[in-house]
Structure 1
Amino acid sequence: MPHDDVRTPPLDALRALVAPVGALAAAERLAGGTFATTYRVTLEDGRRVVVKTAAADPGALLSHEHDLIRTEAEVYALAAGHPALRMPALLHTDFTRTVLPGDVVVAAHLDGVPWTEAGFGAADEDPRAARAQADLGAVVAGLGALTGERFGYPQSPALQAATWRAAFTAMVTALLADAERAGVPDVPAARVRAALDAHGAALDEVTVPRLVHTDLWPGNLFVDPATGALLGVIDPERALWGDPLLDLVGADPVGDGVPAAVAGDLDVTSPGAAARLLLARMWLGLVMTIEIPVRGYVGDWVPDHEAACRRSLARALDGLGV
C-alpha cells in the first residue's frame, strides 16, 4: 500500500552510489512502498536509474525480511540471462551499509507505468488488461522454469529445507513467532498450525524448488498503457525457492481469483493444488496482517487494509477446514 512520506533525498549518498554508473544530475524519492526506500536518479547523460535500499533495523523486520535487498540483487542478476522475466538490469550493489544504513541496489529505470496507474478495465472487456494478464502468465511460467537446490528464502538458512513441507512450515512458524513477539492481537495461531498438520501431504506434492517472486501485484508490474504489454517486473526482494502457486496468490493479494491467463499450465484444480492455494493465501494473509503493527503503518488506508488482510486469512482457513 502507498505512503506519502516523500522526503528530500540524500544527494551526497546517492551521488556516491551511482558513481560507478554515471554522474548524478537530479534525484527524487518515489512514493508507493512500505518496506524499501526508492529513489529515481537522473544522470548527467540523460539516463535514469533506480536506487533502492531497505532498513537493516531488526526491530522493524519480520524474520524472513533480513537482507532482502541482497535477494533482489541475486534475482536481478539471475534474470539477466532470462529476458522472459522482464526484470531491469542490475547496475550496481552496495552491501557495506556505510553509504546508507541498509543494503543498496542500483537498477535500470523501466519504461511504462505501473499497472495500477494504467487505467485498464476488466480483462473480459479491455484487451489491454487481457494482454497484461497473458504477459504476466508468461512471467510466472518463466520464473517457475528456474530451479534451485533447496526450498525457502535465499538469505535465510533457518527458513530453508530439503522439502517444501519443511520450508513452508518453517516460514509460517516464524511468522507466528513474529506475531507473538510483536504482540499482534487476534492471530489464529492454533488454526494455522492445524492447517499445516492437516495438509502436509499437499505440500509434499511440490518436489522441485522453483523460483517464486511472491509479490507480483499490479503495483510491481510496468505496462504500456496503450497496448497492455508487460514491460517490466520489479521488487523481487521477497523471492524464494518453492511452489509457483504462491505467485498466483501474490498477484492478487487479498482476493480469491486466479485468472486462467496468469495460471497458464499450472495445476490449480486438483485437491492438492487447491489446498496449496489456500495454504499460500493463509501464509500471505499472515504476512500482511503481522507486518502492519511491526512496521507501524499509519494513514487512513490502514484500517481497511488490515480488515481485508484478516478477511483473506479467515477465508483461507475456512477453506482449509480448520
Structure 2
Amino acid sequence: MDFSPVERENGSFQQSVTADQIISMCRRIFGDGAGVVSADELGNGMYNNTYRVDVADVGPVILRVAPEPSRQFGSERELMRSEYASVPFFAPIAPLVPRTLGADFTHEVIGRDFLFQTLLPGRPVPQALGGYDRQLWPSLYRDLGTIAAKIHAVRGPAFGSIRNPQFARWSDAFVALLDGLAADVDSVGLDSADIRQVASIAGKQQAVLDEITEPRLLHGDLWTVNVMLVEDAPQPTITGVFDNDRTLWGDPAADWTIRMAAKKPGTERDAFWETYGAPSTTPGAAIRSLFYEARHVAAIRLERHRLGKTEDVPETYGQMRDIIEKFHA
C-alpha cells in the first residue's frame, strides 16, 4: 500500500504507526481479507494520530490512534474511550458527527486504542475559510452557535467524566478537574502552586459553582479547527464536527467553545451569540468565568509542555496570576 506518515522530530509526543500496523488494524475491524490501498496521515491534530485510509471494497475512512497509555497524562487518560462513549449523546447533531465503524480497546493489535470513523465531507475550516470574503465569516459563527446550543441542551446524569460521571455537585467535579491538571503539571516538573491555589479558592466558593445544578453536555474542543465546511458553498456552511474526545458533563459556560467565542469581541465571532443566546452577566457567572479561564490556562500549560513549546509555558503563569488577582479584587 502507499503510506505517507507525517515526519516528526525524534521524541515528539505523537508517534506514527507503521504501514504493517495499519494493515493489521484494518483487518481487525473490516476482516482478514481487507485490502489497504493507501494511508495518509493528517497533521492537523495534536493528540491522537489520524489517518485517511482507503480500504478496498469499503472506501476512504478515518483511522484514529490514541497515544500509548504510558504517554497519556492522568487528566487525558483514555480520551478515545470517552469519545466512543459520547457519540449517542451527540444525537441532536448526528448528521454532522462521523459514525464509528469499529473500535478496538483490547491492545491486542498494537498496544494502543484505535477506532475507524466515516470520512466527513468538505474541507477543514483552517483550509477553507480564507477563500471567503471576510464579510461572510459571520455565517460560520452563527452555525457554531446553533450547534453549541444543541449540544449544551443535552442533559446528563451527574457531573464529571462522560463515561463515569460521579459527582452530584458541580463544585466537586470542577475541583477534581483542577486537581488532576495540577498533578499532571507536577509530574513533568513544572510548578502547579497557582493551579492548586485556584482549586482552594473554588473549594471556598462552592456555593457560586453550585448555582449550576443540572449537568449538561460539553464538547470540550468545539471550535474552527474541528469543523468541516461544505465545498464551494456561497458562504461558509458547516458540514461536519469532529474530535469530541474531551466531552464532559458540566456547566456549558465552562466549554472551550464559549471561551473562544468570547475571546475577540467586536469581530465576526460576535455572530455566535446571535444563535447561541447571550451569555449570562450575573455576578455568579462572572466569578465562574474566572474559574473556567483558570482551568483552560492550566490545560494550555500542560499541552504546551507536551508539544515541546517550552518557550510559551511561562506565559501561562502570568495569565494565572492575573486571574488570581481578580479573585481578590
Per the TM superposition, whether the score is higher than 0.5 is yes
Structure 2 match to 1:131: 139
Verify: 1:262 aligned to 2:264, yes or no: no
Residues 14, 28 of structure 1: alpha-carbon distance in 2 compared, 3 angstrom cutoff: farther
Distance 1:156 1:309 in 2: 30
Give the AA of the match of 1:242: G
1:316 Cα deviation after fit: 3.4
Structure 2 match to 1:151: 159
Verify: 1:171 aligned to 2:185, yes or no: no
Pick the aligned partner of 1:213 from 212, 219, 239: 219
Tell me the alpha carbon deviations over residues 63-109 of structure 1, each in whole angstroms, 9 at most, x when there is no partner. Answer: 23222111111222433x33367211111111111112221221111
Aligned CA-pair RMSD? 3.1
Residues 254, 266 of structure 1: alpha-carbon distance in 2 compared, 3 angstrom cutoff: closer
1:217 Cα deviation after fit: 2.8
Residues 137, 292 of structure 1: alpha-carbon distance in 2 compared, 3 angstrom cutoff: same
Structure 2 match to 1:35: 47
Q: Secondary structure of the residue that 1:39 maps to in structure 2?
A: strand
Verify: 1:97 aligned to 2:120, yes or no: no
Pick the aligned partner of 2:324 from 301, 305, 317: 317
Distance 1:198 1:4 in 2: 48
Tell me the alpha carbon deviations over residues 165-193 of structure 1, each in whole angstroms, 9 at most, x when there is no partner. Answer: 11001111121122223221365235323
Distance 1:316 1:90 in 2: 40
Identity among equivalent positions (%) equals: 27
1:130 Cα deviation after fit: 0.8
Q: Secondary structure of the residue that 2:255 maps to in structure 1?
A: helix
Tell me the alpha carbon deviations over residues 86-142 of structure 1, each in whole angstroms, 9 at most, x when there is no partner. Answer: 2111111111111122212211111122222224499xx724321110111111111
Gaps in structure 2 of 5+ consecutive residues = 1-5, 9-14
**Contact preservation (8 Å) 2:290, 2:323:** yes
Residues 83, 252 of structure 1: alpha-carbon distance in 2 compared, 3 angstrom cutoff: closer
Structure 1 match to 2:313: 306
**Contact preservation (8 Å) 2:75, 2:184:** no
Residues 94, 190 of structure 1: alpha-carbon distance in 2 compared, 3 angstrom cutoff: closer
Which structure has the larger Rg over C-alpha atoms?
Answer: 2
Residues 14, 173 of structure 1: alpha-carbon distance in 2 compared, 3 angstrom cutoff: same
Distance 2:95 2:322 in 1: 31
Q: Secondary structure of the residue that 2:61 maps to in structure 1?
A: strand
1:266 Cα deviation after fit: 5.3
**Contact preservation (8 Å) 2:27, 2:34:** no
Distance 1:186 1:65 in 2: 17
Distance 1:274 1:134 in 2: 24
1:198 Cα deviation after fit: 5.1
- Greater shift, 31-40 or 10-19, is seen at 10-19
Distance 1:139 1:213 in 2: 10
Q: How many residues of Structure 1 are paired with residues of Structure 2 in the alignment?
A: 309
Give the AA of the match of 1:165: S
**Contact preservation (8 Å) 1:218, 1:251:** no
Q: Secondary structure of the residue that 1:320 maps to in structure 2?
A: helix
- Greater shift, 305-314 or 28-37, is seen at 305-314
Distance 1:156 1:183 in 2: 29
Verify: 1:19 aligned to 2:30, yes or no: yes
Gaps in structure 1 of 5+ consecutive residues = none
Distance 1:203 1:89 in 2: 35
Q: TM-score, normalized by length of structure 2?
A: 0.82
1:311 Cα deviation after fit: 4.9
Pick the aligned partner of 1:277 from 261, 264, 289: 289
**Contact preservation (8 Å) 2:122, 2:228:** yes
